Structure 1
Amino acid sequence: MPDQPPYLRIADVLRERIANQDWAPGDRLPSRAELAQQYGVGDNVIRRAQELLISVGTLEGRAGSGTYVAEPRSRLRMVRSIYREQVGGSPFQSDMAALGKRGTWESRTDAKVPAPAGIAARLGIAEGELCVRTAYEFLADGKPVQLSTSWEPYALTAGTLIVLPEGGPHAGIGVVRRMAEIGVRVSRAVEQPSPRAVTAEEAALLGVQKGTLATHIERTYYAEDGRPVETADIVVPAATCEIVYEVPVSQ
């Protein structure tokens, strides 16, 4: 077995000291130079260890001030469930209401956007074929907690009242109900979650540190005939939100 990288060892030491209450929430950690001297490592090792702990919400960095032990925060519970789609309305709003919070979202739609290769493959269309792309920022009591970028084939909805997901008489009712308005019955969704760090742009939108760990969900909705009708990339910060899957069981 290879030796543990030094920064992971230091991260474990710092995490243990916080667990033992050597530093309480809100306390400022010693400087990187002081910690490096104390543990006999370079400043870069301390930096990487702190960045790791910041990414999982154990520490927080304050520009021009230093690194602090983060205040404990309850994580928002995001439920992924087919039942919520069947009931109608917004699953996100339902989740937030269950937590006593107001769930809202902001969006920006661009029509006739050429599909990148990866998106085209997920939608079963040719690269460069036109799509409707909508970027969402989901808010809990006005604070950003989730991002999503949705893609729909333009040929599927062009000339209909649902061509704009957040415009027209059927705005904001979700993919399943919108597609039903044009006679397309969505029968299943496939989701593939994976961990990754947020990008600089995502960090700015979510109000978190660059490199913060997140759950990235690649979701695709399929019609009864097997056609993909929408695909999306959903980004949920791991330190502030937990994702729960509710799976139906047939008797």
Structure 2
Amino acid sequence: MAFGEQPAYLRVAGDLRQKIFDGVLPPHSRLPSQARIRAEYGVSDTVALEARKILMAEGLVEGRSGSGTYVRELPEPGRIVRAGYRPSGSDGVFRQEQADDQVKGSWESCSEQQEASAAVAARLRLPAGERVMQTRYVFRTDGEPVMLSTSWEPLSLTGRTPVMLPEEGPLGGHGVVERMAAIDLVVDNVLEEIGARPGLAEEMAELGGMAGHCVLVIRRTFCAGGLPVETADIVLPADRYRPAYHLPVR
């Protein structure tokens, strides 16, 4: 193969991808069969199969049992607006995750005590195995799942205080900043790092997608005077939502 020349399966996948983007293969239309791809492009069965696998991995097509492979209707990505701290109200936790006044959201949560994994302990600057409160959330907009979040708070800070459970007690649902202030910890910094990876099967089952499709992961950590008081992983489908940041200019 000459320098710069693509392997046959990438060339075939690229041509089919362009046909999808151009509307030649519109949403819900059937992708050409393996035999038709083989004949049209003059390639082997192996090349045709690999090209179809690429389009499926990219989320452009989906298999339907007993029917074939079809072009997916790709949604226009919505915006998840993020702007740092927001005052808590009746939907404070949702505001903390998605700072958009136009969105009315709801969530479900479940909290339990855990031993911090090595990764979580490092983020919270704790010894591995230290006890933390883990809280899992499913966030919805208009009843549809939007994102997942798992947060961890050191019980060495919150244990045996009124804010030990994020969703219960006098400040339940009020968000990290207000809850920590109640135990004399002033949150003055938040770090967010964004990455991407294939979605896990259990994540996509909750979010309504196919395992392996790309998700964005926002790794957020709240700090008070340099001390991490909460860290969280926020997961959202990359093809349906994109985070948008409003940052002050000083």
TM-score, length of structure 1 as denominator length: 0.87
Does the aligned pair in 2 maintain the 1:122–1:228 contact within 8 Å?
yes
Following TM superposition, by how much is the alpha carbon of 1:29 offset from its aligned partner in structure 2, in angstroms? 1.4
In the other structure, the counterpart of 2:242 is: 242
Counterpart secondary structure, 2:229:
strand
Which deviations, in whole Å up to 9, do the C-alpha atoms of 1:146-184 show, x marking residues without a partner? 111101101111111111111222111111111112111
**Aligned mates of 1:3, 1:184 — CA distance in 2:** 59
Task: Spell out the pairing of 1:1-251 with structure 2 (5 A cutoff).
Answer: 3-4=5-6, 6-39=8-41, 40-41=43-44, 42=46, 43-54=48-59, 58-82=60-84, 85-88=85-88, 89=92, 90-91=94-95, 92=97, 94-95=99-100, 98=102, 102-111=104-113, 113-224=114-225, 226-250=226-250
Which deviations, in whole Å up to 9, do the C-alpha atoms of 1:90-132 show, x marking residues without a partner? 324653x52xx53111111112x11000110000000000000
> How many residues are paired up?
240
Counterpart secondary structure, 2:58:
helix
Does the aligned pair in 2 maintain the 1:77–1:242 contact within 8 Å?
yes
CA RMSD of aligned residues (A): 2.1
What residue identity is the alignment partner of 2:247?
A: V
Following TM superposition, by how much is the alpha carbon of 1:65 offset from its aligned partner in structure 2, in angstroms? 3.0
Following TM superposition, by how much is the alpha carbon of 1:228 offset from its aligned partner in structure 2, in angstroms? 0.4
**Aligned mates of 1:34, 1:148 — CA distance in 2:** 44
Unaligned runs of 5+ residues in structure 1 are none
What residue identity is the alignment partner of 2:196?
A: P
In structure 2, relative to structure 1, the CA distance for the partners of 1:64 and 1:180 (3 Å cut) is farther
Which deviations, in whole Å up to 9, do the C-alpha atoms of 1:195-214 show, x marking residues without a partner? 11101111111110111111
**Aligned mates of 1:195, 1:93 — CA distance in 2:** 19
**Aligned mates of 1:64, 1:246 — CA distance in 2:** 47
What residue identity is the alignment partner of 1:26?
A: H
Does the aligned pair in 1 maintain the 2:123–2:231 contact within 8 Å?
yes
**Aligned mates of 1:5, 1:162 — CA distance in 2:** 58
The structure with the largest alpha-carbon Rg is: 2
**Aligned mates of 1:53, 1:213 — CA distance in 2:** 8
TM-score, length of structure 2 as denominator length: 0.87
Identity of aligned residues (%): 43
In structure 2, relative to structure 1, the CA distance for the partners of 1:4 and 1:218 (3 Å cut) is farther
